[in-house]
Amino acid sequence: MVTLRVVTADDWPLWRDLRVAALTESPHAFKARVADWHRGGEEEWRARFGRPGAHHLVAFLDGRGVGLARGVPVGDGVSELRSLWAGPRVRGRGAGDLLLGAVEAWARGSGAVTLRLTVIPGNDHAMALYRRHGFAVTTEHRPLLPDGVTRELVMAKALR
């Protein structure tokens, strides 16, 4: 069974390993590139946890980290889901649903009225997950990605 645990800056090696695994295994799904995340030591990785009010989750199966998600408050009643990834061992087993549901519960509990996320066009599995949870594509435009053509799609869900 997949379980979730909230992690802190003290768990930075676990977060680093999972984040690098996500970017290596699913580069098509993220704006960031693995080369951007290999740099830096403990201090830089701990600093990634420094955003006030952020919520970091790791999914476990048989004691091993197999997924992650991050929720970040952005202001004006809006929180964002960032870095959701379920590894190959747990795809199709509800790990993405668990992670997304936990971030949504955190956002509601922290007073957010909207939960927002971005997704790379063509990431159909992620978009299906988000739609299943009530997210819809907005008209908000994001900056161009490094390819100079593509823009992330913004999806949002009203929490109240």
Q: What is the mean pLDDT of residues 74-88?
A: 95
* pLDDT above 90 for 55: yes
* pLDDT above 70 for 8: yes
Q: What is the mean pLDDT of residues 45-49?
A: 85
Question: Position 64: which residue type?
Answer: R
Between CA 66 and CA 3 the distance in angstroms is: 10
What is the per-residue pLDDT for 9? 94
pTM, rounded to two decimals: 0.92
H helix intervals, 48-142:
95-109, 124-132
Between CA 60 and CA 53 the distance in angstroms is: 23
What is the per-residue pLDDT for 24? 86
Phi-psi region of 83 (alpha: psi -120 to 50; beta: other; left: phi over 0): left
* pLDDT above 90 for 74: yes
Instruction: Answer yes or no: are the C-beta atoms of 22 and 65 closer than 8 Å.
Output: no
Angstrom distances, CA of residue 42 to CA of 66, 83, 99, 132: 21, 20, 25, 37
- The closest of 150, 146, 104, 106 to 129, measured between CA atoms, is 104
What is the per-residue pLDDT for 38? 59
The radius of gyration of the chain from alpha carbons, rounded to an integer in Å, stands at: 15
Instruction: Answer yes or no: are the C-beta atoms of 11 and 58 closer than 8 Å.
Output: yes
Between CA 68 and CA 21 the distance in angstroms is: 10
- The model's pLDDT over 99-154, given as tens digits with 9 standing for 90+, comes to 999 999 999 999 999 999 999 999 999 999 999 999 999 999 899 888 889 899 99
Q: What is the mean pLDDT of residues 12-25?
A: 90
